[in-house]
Amino acid sequence: MGVFSDMIIGSGIDTVDCMITLDFPKVSEDRNIYEVYEEFGQSLDCVYVVNRDGFLVGLLDQPTMLKVGARRNMQKLAGELVCKVPMCLPSSSSVQEAITLFLKLKVNEVPVTDETGRMIGVLKLWPLFDYQASKLESLEQELNKSKKLTATLEAVIENPYEGMVVVDENSHVTMINNFYLEVLGVTREEALGRHICELTPHSELPNIVRTGKAQFVDYWKVGDRDFMIIRAPIKKDGKTIGALGKTLFKDMGLAHVFARKLAQLEDDLKFYKEELRKIHSATYTFDDIIGEGFKITATIRLAQRAARTTSTVLLTGESGTGKELFAHAIHNYSVRRHGPFIKVNCAAIPEQLLESELFGYVEGAFTGASKDGKPGKFELANHGTIFLDEIGDMSLTMQAKLLRVIQEREIERIGGTQPFKIDVRIITATNRKLEKMLQEGTFRDDLFYRLNVMVLELPCLRERSGDIRLLANYMVTKLNQKLETDVEGISQEAMQILQNYAWPGNVRELESVLERTMNMVDEPIILPEHLPARILQAKMSVNDIQSGEHSRFEEGRNFAEKELLVDALKCAKGNKAQAAKILGIHRSVLYKKLTKHGLGGEVLSGEL
């Protein structure tokens, strides 16, 4: 049995039932022997004989069949001439047991019986050989894999830049690499099998084996050499069977290089985190809101009170009154100031994209979706504030979905199946009249009542004309930095004009006018003639007219008229007839006004 049998140790779980031949020569014991000879005698070595119940009663071998052939008129039954019953093999037998039986009987096949003892087939030797050959091939493949793995492990262990030692459960050295041997100054033969403390008296590996707890980045000094080392338990089935000691660097010089690189990576990470925080953070505070009038200071106090709560805030007012500025300030004044501040302009995002922008989507949610999915704005704003600007421009469908988020405080990505809770403060803003939209059916009343909790009506600039001087001077300073100009201020006359203007575009329009003027002016002081025509054409205050400053009015009107003439000629590319049509006056009137303002010939060419 020997070597061949040893090859299949470990295959005992494999049974022979899958290798049984079910088509084999079998006859009943009460069948005429000559009929059996006629059917099988000249071609087979043996025929199996069974009784009516299927139990094997013996076999007819070749000598017996030859005798029957010589006596053609033999009138006997097959059961009368059988040889002794051969040894059978149960179908549940293992391959190991089958091979043992074949080697013992020295035969080419053996009968196989089921659990009741009935014969169900035969097991031949060659299929068994084929099976074992495939097993040997598999063993060879596994052996080759093991050799490759061993070679890889040896390469890892013999890393010339790291020391490594392994001990067993008794802290005896079972593996050690050349680097470690060199550090200790011993040979492999001297180290293997010895207790680790005999090689390094203060070794912590026995303690690792005892406690099963790892030690990371410990200091280890051997002679005049310093190392960083880690120690870790080796476990199997939850039990500690040894420990590993491993140096991290060849010397401390490399450790210092690594530490510097790690510090640089930490600095880089800190920088990028800060940059990301800036992108998703509020910029302005209440200190950035300029104004001393009653209406603006009262609004600021109410906004500060709202910031201390968690309620939804609705900012209303005309365009350009500073709704986004207030949203920033409320966030920075609240307990969520260290959380994200996410801005969404509901009017700027197409309706078909707004849902994915707000709630995000999972992989494969729709054609063109990112393979990794994408978090929505609400998800990004978790533990912070989301500012929904132009909320009045949101469709009724999206209003319903927003209402659910406000009520349930949970979102679900498009294409997802798992909703998850969010902790978000919601600030909304609109310049539209939501009450009127309720009557028109273009804004949901249930959403309106959810938003209409803390309402801040921001005053328009014409209601706070006393703050225009403060705002204008502040903007001149800010725009000087932006435009790299040196404007020193605004003249009293120009300031009076600014204060008398209605400012339909509010603070945003004021900043736009000042930026245009500062780009055009060459003098250090902004004068009335530097202001745009529409500002100069604005109605002067009653107090100014009563004070007799009619000449200044005439001066401003003449300046505006001249600027209109020049603009019309520019649009008409110098064609006076076309310019007269643009202005809605007769061509003769145009010529008179050009003469009045000295816009003829070379002067006009210079203006154009």
The answer to whether 494 touches 514, Cβ cutoff 8 Å, is no
Within this chain, do residues 379 and 442 fall inside the same structural domain, yes or no? yes
Cα dist from 199 to 7, 184, 224, 513, whole Å: 41, 7, 16, 84
404 and 482 in a single domain? The answer is: no
Whole-number Å distance between alpha carbons of 502 and 507? 11
Residue 201, Cβ density class (10 Å: 0-12 exposed, 13-18 middle, ≥19 buried): exposed
Task: Indicate whether 315 and 443 sit together in one domain.
Answer: yes
Domain membership flag for residue 231: yes
Closest CA to 531 of 504, 508, 506, 499: 499
**In CATH, what number is assigned to the domain containing residue 350?**
3.40.50.300
Q: How far apart are the first and last CA of the chain?
A: 114
Closest C-alpha among 430, 412, 422 to residue 340? 422
User: Do both 540 and 584 map to the same domain?
Assistant: yes
State the pLDDT at residue 537: 80
Q: Clarify whether residues 592 and 497 are in a common domain.
A: yes
CATH number of the domain at 196, please.
3.30.450.20
d(CA 311, CA 392): 19
Residue at 268 is within a domain: no
The total domain count for the chain is 4
* Helix 468-483, helix 506-520: angle, nearest 10: 50
Q: What is the pLDDT of residue 7?
A: 44
Instruction: Give me the amino acid identity at 447.
Output: L
* Predicted local confidence at residue 467, as pLDDT: 92
Distance CA 402, CA 380 (A): 16
Instruction: Give the CATH number for residue 97.
Output: 3.10.580.10
* The domain boundary residue, chosen from 97, 132, 167: 132
The domain of 515 spans 472-607
**Percent of the chain with pLDDT strictly greater than 70:** 87
- 200/111 same-domain check: no
Partners of residue 124 on adjacent β-strands: 109
Q: Are residues 534 and 590 in the same domain?
A: yes
Bridge partners (DSSP) listed for residue 121: 112
- Regarding whether 523 and 392 lie in a shared domain, the answer is no
Q: How many CA atoms lie within 13 A of 99 on its CB side?
A: 22
Q: Flag whether 146 is in a domain.
A: no
Does the residue 149 lie in any domain? no
- Please check whether residue 272 lies inside any domain of the structure: no
Positions in the chain short of pLDDT 70 = 1-13, 42, 72-73, 156, 219, 222-224, 249-259, 271-280, 367-368, 538-556, 600-608
Residue 124 is inside which H or E element, if any?
A: strand 119-124
CB 204 within 8 A of CB 181: no
- Residue 250 is given by DSSP the state S
Do 409 and 497 reside in the same domain of the chain?
no
Cα(212)–Cα(233) distance, rounded to whole angstroms?
Answer: 5
Q: What φ, ψ does residue 32 adopt, rounded to 5°?
A: -60, 135
Q: Kind and range of the H or E element at 255?
A: helix 252-279
Last residue of a domain, one of 63, 97, 132: 132
CB 321 within 8 A of CB 458: yes
pLDDT for 434-445, tens place per residue?
A: 999 999 999 999
Q: Is 343 a member of any domain?
A: yes
* CATH number for the domain that contains residue 477: 1.10.8.60
Of 194, 213, 207, 205, the C-alpha closest to 163 is: 205
Token pair for 65: 């069949």
Backbone angles phi, psi at 590, to 5 degrees: -60, -45
Reduced 3-state DSSP string for 46-99: EEEEECCCCCEEEEEEHHHHHHHHHCCCCCCEHHHCCCCCCCCEECCCEHHHHH
Residue at 516 is within a domain: yes
Same domain membership, residue 168 and residue 105: no
Q: CB-based burial of residue 212 (10 Å sphere; 0-12 exposed, 13-18 middle, 19+ buried)?
A: middle
What percent of the chain has pLDDT above 90? 40
pLDDT tens string 303-350 = 999 999 999 999 999 999 999 999 999 999 999 999 999 999 999 888
User: Which residue, 194, 220, 248, sits at the end of a domain?
Assistant: 248
Same domain, 317 and 420: yes
pTM: 0.50
Could you tell me if 229 and 302 lie in one domain?
A: no
For residue 485, being part of any structural domain is answered with yes
